Chain A
Amino acid sequence: MPLNRNQFVRFVNVHKAYDVNTLVVKDLNLDVANGEFLTLLGPSGSGKTTTLMMLAGFEEPTSGDIILDGRSINGIPAYKRGVGMVFQNYALFPHMTVGENLAFPLQARGMSRADQKTRILQALDMVKLSAFADRRPAQLSGGQQQRVALARALVFEPSLVLMDEPLGALDKQLRDHMQLEIKHLHQRIGVTVVYVTHDQTEALVMSDRVAVFNEGRIQQVAAPAEIYQNPQTDFVAQFIGENNRLEGRVAEISHNESTIVLKDGTTVRSGSVAGTTSGEKRILSVRPEAILVGSDAANLPNSFYGNVKEIVYLGDHVRLIIPFGGPEELSIKLTHRRAAAISVGDQVSFGWKPEECRALV
């Protein structure tokens, strides 16, 4: 039994450097709850994979502690940690059959042949590959290999499973399907999962919580909806979903709103961010779908006029591109019906609620 349900895995002041000049992970403090699906999301080189490798035991932290189930695991070799792992290219043993691949962790634990057999069948059944035990990995499709890798990481019933971009090699359709399958599997067996990806959709679809990494630091840890609707930094707003960025300075602060002056003098009212002081440089963030057009926009506190520069057709919706706030442009998401009357060059009114807009660092 873990000491604290919310602290099944703990990173405490963890730093990681490969050489003296570059810290790959900077002062990482992160807790993972038991049974949680936590995703480490970030661009390549952000330190998310290094964090995962330290947890798996393939990298040692340069300083700080990693605690698993109440015990520090610094210096404990990977093979003694009992942590399951799914690799980017699956890392299935090519000279073994699917069954032998699954038997490998059980043999390493000295399990009897009969027990091995039951476990392997259960695991294969779980990923719907019962008929494939005697195939070689090379004889399977990408999606099937992916499921074998999952089954192999789960067959010895670890309490923690790590996944390093496991869907990266699949095509889009299969990826969408596997996202849900992994999510359901997690809900069914309740194992703790730490998942690494650079794909924001994947993170939003699958996770209980998302930790966004950039340049070795965690920018924000929160549930997917919170991350999307309430980004705490400019980077998070940019990285998750689509976003309009407007540079400006803080002019006025009231108890729950602040006024920002953009480069061309336009004033915008936005939701307040704690710790803001007057005169500070800030970046406004507005989602394209939060901007209303036409009569809907007329009575909003933030209401503007502009000329449509371009209309981009995107199948299920349409984008209007309107120059705004100086050098910048706004991208506005519209349904076909709403966009039908608008053509390039038209002057349109548009606007958004202050709470749909955040002034970020």
Chain B
Amino acid sequence: MTTTPLERIAASAVASVAIMVLLFLIVPLVVAVPLSFNSEPYFSYPMPGFSLRWYGELFGNDIKGLEWRNAFLNSVFIGICASILATVLGTSASLGIARGDLPFKQALQAMMLSPLVIPVVVYATGVVYFFARISLIGTYSGLIIAHALLGTPYVLITVTASLSGFDRNLTKAGLSLGAPPWMVFRKIALPLIAPGVASGALFAFVTSWDEIIVTLFLAYPDQQTVPRRLWAGVNEQLSPVVIAASTILFVITLGLLVVVEVLRRRNIRLSGTI
């Protein structure tokens, strides 16, 4: 196709804006990373020297290191439990919706997706009162339930999407070949929607892993999570230890993203098309 000079100007304008926006997205994430290796507790370049002392504090055996590691374990524990709960509930509901004959489908779907649009502070305030009445404040169960709830819409969306690409004839084929419904689900439907379920589970985990507002409202002071420690670190005095912790989280994020990408590619390879 031939292009006019005007088109070329427009294209290069779009390209330069796009690259600047891309830099705006990425640079802030990485520019602070080297500062976590600074030998002095300052946030400026050039750095006087290289040091792992801030990571040492994170992994050290003094109170601070213990607190960080405790928060990390709490976050992982709550995140995994919330993710499992959200994935089981969300996958089952998606299967029910995909069957196409659900009564009150619109209303039920709207209700189950509503956690996406209700501001979290409103939910946190509501749930703190409700949980106080049923003695769930300051418990792990309370945090897990609230975090799982915020994650369920994502599971619902990803699993529903993968079910919409699922050929209903495969279920019929499985049945016609003599397999009972449960075997058809386990051997045929589940493996094929597995990437959708997995990315839903990952979304639910990240939702919990990143959650701060509900945690601030619901958790007792001894129930530290990583976001809570970051929140305290940012609110009080920004220290290089917080930057070091942020860097570790960032690296974990990158790792998770790679996992998602691998899942996506696997999905493409399995379905054979697109």
Binding site for B on A (CB under 8 A): 56-58, 77-85, 87-89, 91-95, 104-105, 107-109, 136-139, 152-153, 156, 162
Contacts and interface: CB of A to CB of B under 8 A. Distances in A.
Contacts of B174: 79, 93, 104
Given A79-B181, A95-B191, A108-B179, A87 B173 contact: yes
Given A87-B169, A89-B167, A95-B192, A57 B177 contact: no
B180 A79 contact: yes
Nearest to B192: A95
A21 B90 CA distance: 36
Interface string B158-191: 0000000001011011111111110110011001
11 contacts: A57-B176, A77-B175, A78-B172, A79-B177, A83-B176, A91-B172, A95-B192, A104-B174, A104-B177, A138-B271, A153-B176
Nearest to A77: B175
Interface in B196-220: none
A95 B270 contact: yes
Nearest to A109: B178
B272 A94 contact: yes
B273 interface: yes
Contacts of B271: 94, 138
A89 B178 CA distance: 19
- Chief secondary structure at chain B's binding surface: helix
A107 B173 CA distance: 14
A330 B23 CA distance: 74
Nearest to B181: A79
Nearest to B184: A79
Contact of B173 (A80, A82, A85, A139): A85
A80 B272 CA distance: 31
A25 B232 CA distance: 70
Interface of B: 167, 169-170, 172-181, 183-184, 187-188, 191-192, 270-273
Contacts of B181: 77, 79
Contacts, number: 79
The 3 closest A-B pairs by CB, nearest first: A138-B272, A105-B177, A91-B173
Contacts of A139: 272
Nearest to B271: A94
Given A84-B176, A93-B174, A93-B188, 12 more contacts: A78-B172, A78-B176, A80-B178, A91-B167, A92-B173, A93-B173, A104-B187, A108-B179, A108-B180, A136-B272, A152-B177, A156-B177
Given A95-B270, A138-B272, A138-B273, A108 B173 contact: no
Contacts of A138: 271-273
Contacts of A85: 172-173, 176
A251 B167 CA distance: 57
A82 B177 CA distance: 7
Contacts of B183: 108
A265 B259 CA distance: 81
Contacts of A83: 176
B150 to A, nearest CB: 32
B119 to A, nearest CB: 41
Nearest to B188: A93
Contacts of B191: 95
| Of A56, A91, A153, most B-chain CB atoms within 10 Å | A91
A80 B178 CA distance: 6
A89 B272 contact: no
B27 to A, nearest CB: 41
Given A94-B192, A95-B270, A136-B272, A88 B169 contact: yes
Given A89-B167, A94-B272, A108 B172 contact: no
